[in-house]
């Protein structure tokens, strides 16, 4: 495996803004068995990310990130068996609101989409409200309030049909109380 990665970021005085851009590329060579014959193969993985955070007002904080990952598998022995590239996108947006001293409301969004038609689009939305006093803290969180909790995938091949259900994130409500001793 050979890889290279880098990241640059810049902060600005306005709204305590920070933006960043990152990228990486990895090449992995390996062998795989195809119809009883050992084939040489290569996986190229390219990733690019953009992230930001800002606090435009005392009561509001915003964070976001977008990633794209591109996977390309190539069979070096039998190029006709190589797969088409897969491109996965992930987007995150988090909003934090501080309406009064000790209180915090957060909204967290996540969106995943890909060019793999068997997966589709997946979205998650989490909400939380919390209060923090000097020696204790209480919060209620609703995870995956709106969004996908599972996806089904059916793959048809020349010799096999596979069907799977993947549980992504449960819908749940959590209450937490903690205190300093």
Dihedral (C-alpha) 90, 95, 146, 149: value to the nearest 10 degrees?
A: 40
Q: Hey, is 172 helix, strand or coil?
A: strand
CA pseudo-torsion sign 106, 169, 147, 86:
positive
> From the CB of residue 112, how many other CB atoms can be counted at a distance below 10 Å?
19
Q: Are 93 and 64 in contact (CB under 8 A)?
A: yes
Q: State yes or no: pLDDT of 44 exceeds 90.
A: yes
User: What per-residue confidence (pLDDT) applies to 181?
Assistant: 85
Tell me the C-alpha distance between 18 and 53, whole Å: 5
Dihedral (C-alpha) 113, 89, 78, 162: value to the nearest 10 degrees?
A: -30
Tell me the C-alpha distance between 145 and 174, whole Å: 12
Least confident of 29-43, 86-100, 102-116, 164-178: 164-178
Report the percent of the chain where pLDDT is more than 70: 90
Q: Which are the contacts of 151, defined by CB distance < 8 A and separation ≥ 6?
A: 119, 120, 122, 165, 166, 168
Burial tier of 159 (Cβ tally within 10 Å: 0-12, 13-18, 19+): exposed
Tell me the C-alpha distance between 168 and 150, whole Å: 5
The pairing of strands 2-12 and 17-34 is: antiparallel
Per-residue pLDDT band at 124 (split at 50, 70, 90): confident
User: What per-residue confidence (pLDDT) applies to 159?
Assistant: 54
């Amino acid at each position: 495996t050979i890889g290279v990665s880098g990241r640059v970021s810049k902060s600005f005085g306005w709204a305590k803004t920070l933006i960043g851009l990152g990228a990486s590329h990895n090449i992995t060579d390996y062998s795989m068995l195809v119809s009883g014959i050992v084939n040489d193969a290569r996986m190229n993985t390219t990733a690019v990310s953009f992230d930001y955070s800002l606090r435009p007002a005392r009561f509001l904080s915003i964070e976001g990130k977008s990633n794209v990952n591109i996977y390309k598998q190539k069979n070096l022995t039998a190029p006709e068996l190589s797969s088409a590239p897969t491109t996965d996108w992930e987007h995150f947006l988090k909003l934090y609101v501080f309406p009064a001293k000790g209180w915090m409301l957060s909204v967290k969004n996540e969106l995943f989409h890909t060019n793999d038609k068997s997966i589709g689009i997946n979205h998650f939305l989490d909400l939380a409200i919390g209060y923090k006093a000097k020696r204790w803290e209480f919060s209620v969180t609703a995870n995956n309030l709106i969004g996908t909790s599972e996806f089904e995938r059916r793959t048809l091949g020349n010799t096999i049909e596979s069907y799977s259900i993947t549980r992504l994130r449960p819908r749940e409500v959590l209450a937490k109380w903690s205190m300093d001793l």
